[in-house]
C-alpha cells in the first residue's frame, strides 16, 4: 500500500512538477517581485520558502549570509537539510514541529532561539500557508535573524542597569546616613552643622532626580515617544542665560566668549529641551575642556537646504581623540574620568534629532572639542 509521504519525511511531489532531463526535480527560482517591486534580496531578514513538497524554492541573500550556505546549494533541497536546526536542548526542530504532518489547525511557529551547525544562534519563526483552513500546507515560510543586535541590546540594558545602580547607591547612601544621624542625634549638632547636612541631602536628592529624568528621556528616545512642545525660542537669549548661570556659580566671566551672528531666522522649538541641550554641552566644555569656551549662534542651512539656526560650542582643551568621535553620542561614553553617567550626549542627540536637526562633533581651531547642532527654522505646520 502506498503511503502519502515521500522519502525523508518530504511530502510527495505535486503532479506535473517540472523535472530536469535526468528526471530530478528542477530547482525553482526565487519568487518574482510583487506589485511594489520588492525582491526577496531586498529584505533585511533571512527568508526561506519551501513548497508543498518541503523543497526550498526561495533562499534570499540574507538567509545565505546567516547560514553561510550559497543559494545554489539550497534551492531544490529539502528544507530540513538546508536548515538543520536544533533547539537549545539539542532536539531537532523539524522533528519537533513537523509542519507538514502535524496538527492541521496550526498556522506557524513563534520566534525562538535555535542553533545552526557549529552552535551559531539564530532567531527563527515560521508561517504555514494553507489554501483552506485545516488543509495541507502549500508553502512553508521561514524567517531568520541574527542574534547580534539582540545581544548588543541586552548588553546595553545590562550596562544601563549597572550604571543606574552605581549612580543611585552613592547619593541614597548619603541621604540615608545624614537623615539617620540627624534623627538620632539632633540635639548634639549646631544649627550650622544641621544646615550643612541638610544641604548635602538636598544636593543628593537633586542628583537622584536628574538621573531619573535622564532614564525617562532615554526610554522616550528609544521608543520614539519623545514629545516636543514647540514655542518661539530666542537662541541668543538662551545662550546668554546659561553663561550667566555659570558665572553666578563662580566661574570667571572671561572663560566664556559669545558670538551671535544676526539676524537669526525665527526658531520654533521646545524651550525646556533646548535648555537641556545647551546646559549639557556647556557643562561638558567647562568640566572636560580647558581655556575659553566659545559659543557661536548663527544662521545656517539644514541638511535639506532649508533655513536654520546653528549653535557651536567649542573649547581649547585636548579635544576628543579621533578614534573616539564615532562613539561620542552613544550610551555611557565618557570623555574623561571626571564623573557623569555617560548618558548626556546620547540624550542631546536624541533631542536634536527629534526637532528635525543634526548634531556633529569635531575639533575646534584651537584644538579642543567642538559640538555643533543645527535646528530648522520656521513656524510649525499647523500655523503656516
**Residue 6 included in any domain:** no
* Residue 263 counted as domain residue: yes
pLDDT tens per residue across span 40-76: 999 989 999 999 999 999 999 999 999 999 999 999 9
In a domain, 24, yes or no: no
Q: Are residues 130 and 73 in the same domain?
A: yes
Specify whether 191 is located in the same domain as 282.
no
Q: Give a yes or no: residue 31 inside a domain.
A: no
Query: What is the pLDDT, as a whole number, of residue 343?
Result: 83
Q: What percent of the chain has pLDDT over 70?
A: 86
The pLDDT assigned to 90 comes to 87
pLDDT score at 382: 57
Domain with 186 in it: what CATH number?
1.10.287.130
Q: What is the pTM of this model?
A: 0.60
144 half-sphere exposure, CB direction, 13 A CA radius: 26
φ and ψ at 291, to 5 degrees? Answer: 65, -150
For residues 280-296, give the mean pLDDT: 92
Closest CA to 64 of 85, 80, 42, 48: 48
CATH number at residue 350: 3.30.565.10
Q: Does residue 326 form part of some domain?
A: yes
Residue 380 has pLDDT above 70, yes or no: no
Per-residue pLDDT of 97-116, as tens digits, reads 999 998 989 999 999 989 99
* Mean of pLDDT values over 104-132: 91
Residues 181 and 256 in one domain: no
Cell output for 156: 546595553
Q: Are residues 359 and 238 in the same domain?
A: yes
Query: Are 196 and 327 found together in one domain?
Result: no
Residue numbers of the domain that contains 205? 150-223
* Final residue belonging to a domain, choices 147, 177, 204: 147
Same domain, 195 and 124: no
Q: Are residues 247 and 117 in the same domain?
A: no
Work out the percent of the chain whose per-residue pLDDT is above 90. 54
Q: Considering its fold, how many domains does the chain have in total? A: 3
Same domain, 241 and 353: yes
End position of a domain, from candidates 179, 196, 223: 223
Grid coordinates given for 356: 528635525
Q: What is the CATH number of the domain that holds 123?
A: 3.30.450.20
Q: Does 284 lie in the same domain as 174?
A: no
In a domain, 33, yes or no: no
Please tell me whether residue 9 adopts helix, strand or coil conformation: helix
Q: Pick the last residue of a domain from 147, 181, 205.
A: 147
Co-location of 63 and 142 in the same domain: yes
Which is more confident, 13 or 3?
A: 13
132 φ, ψ (degrees, to nearest 5): -145, 155
Contact 222, 258 (CB under 8 A): no
Co-location of 310 and 237 in the same domain: yes
Residues 163, 200: one domain? Answer: yes
Amino acid at each position: 500500500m502506498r503511503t502519502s509521504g515521500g522519502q525523508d519525511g518530504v511530502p510527495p511531489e505535486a503532479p506535473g512538477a517540472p523535472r530536469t532531463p535526468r528526471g530530478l526535480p528542477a530547482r525553482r527560482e526565487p519568487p518574482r517581485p510583487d506589485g511594489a517591486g520588492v525582491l526577496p534580496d531586498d529584505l533585511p531578514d533571512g527568508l526561506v520558502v519551501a513548497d508543498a513538497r518541503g523543497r526550498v524554492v526561495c533562499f534570499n541573500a540574507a538567509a545565505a549570509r546567516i547560514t553561510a550556505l550559497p543559494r545554489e546549494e539550497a534551492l531544490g533541497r529539502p528544507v530540513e537539510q538546508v536548515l538543520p536546526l536544533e533547539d537549545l536542548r539539542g532536539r531537532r526542530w523539524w522533528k519537533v514541529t513537523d509542519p507538514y504532518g502535524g496538527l492541521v489547525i496550526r498556522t506557524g511557529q513563534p520566534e525562538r532561539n535555535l542553533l545552526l551547525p557549529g552552535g551559531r544562534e539564530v532567531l527563527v519563526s515560521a508561517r504555514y500557508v494553507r489554501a483552506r483552513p485545516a488543509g495541507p500546507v502549500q508553502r512553508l515560510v521561514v524567517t531568520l535573524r541574527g542574534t547580534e543586535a539582540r545581544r548588543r541590546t541586552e548588553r546595553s540594558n545590562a550596562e544601563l542597569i549597572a550604571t543606574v545602580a552605581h549612580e543611585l547607591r552613592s547619593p541614597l547612601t548619603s541621604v540615608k546616613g545624614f537623615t539617620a544621624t540627624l534623627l538620632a542625634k539632633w540635639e548634639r549638632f549646631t544649627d550650622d552643622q544641621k544646615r550643612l547636612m541638610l544641604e548635602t541631602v538636598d544636593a543628593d536628592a537633586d542628583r537622584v532626580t536628574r538621573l531619573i529624568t535622564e532614564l525617562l528621556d532615554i526610554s522616550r528616545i528609544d521608543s520614539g515617544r519623545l514629545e516636543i512642545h514647540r514655542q518661539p525660542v530666542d537662541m541668543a537669549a538662551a545662550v546668554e542665560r546659561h553663561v550667566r548661570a555659570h558665572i553666578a556659580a563662580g566661574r570667571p566671566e572671561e572663560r566664556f566668549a559669545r558670538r551671535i551672528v544676526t539676524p537669526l531666522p525665527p526658531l520654533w522649538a521646545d524651550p525646556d529641551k533646548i535648555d537641556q541641550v545647551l546646559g549639557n554641552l556647556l557643562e561638558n566644555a567647562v568640566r572636560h575642556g580647558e581655556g575659553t569656551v566659545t559659543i557661536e549662534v548663527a544662521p545656517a542651512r539644514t541638511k535639506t537646504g532649508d533655513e536654520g539656526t546653528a549653535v557651536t560650542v567649542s573649547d581649547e582643551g585636548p579635544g576628543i581623540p579621533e578614534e573616539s568621535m564615532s562613539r561620542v553620542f552613544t550610551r555611557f561614553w565618557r570623555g574623561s574620568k571626571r564623573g557623569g553617567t555617560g548618558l548626556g550626549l546620547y540624550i542631546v542627540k536624541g533631542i536634536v534629532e527629534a526637532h528635525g536637526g543634526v548634531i556633529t562633533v569635531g575639533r575646534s581651531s584651537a584644538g579642543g572639542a567642538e559640538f555643533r547642532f543645527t535646528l530648522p527654522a520656521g513656524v510649525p505646520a499647523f500655523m503656516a
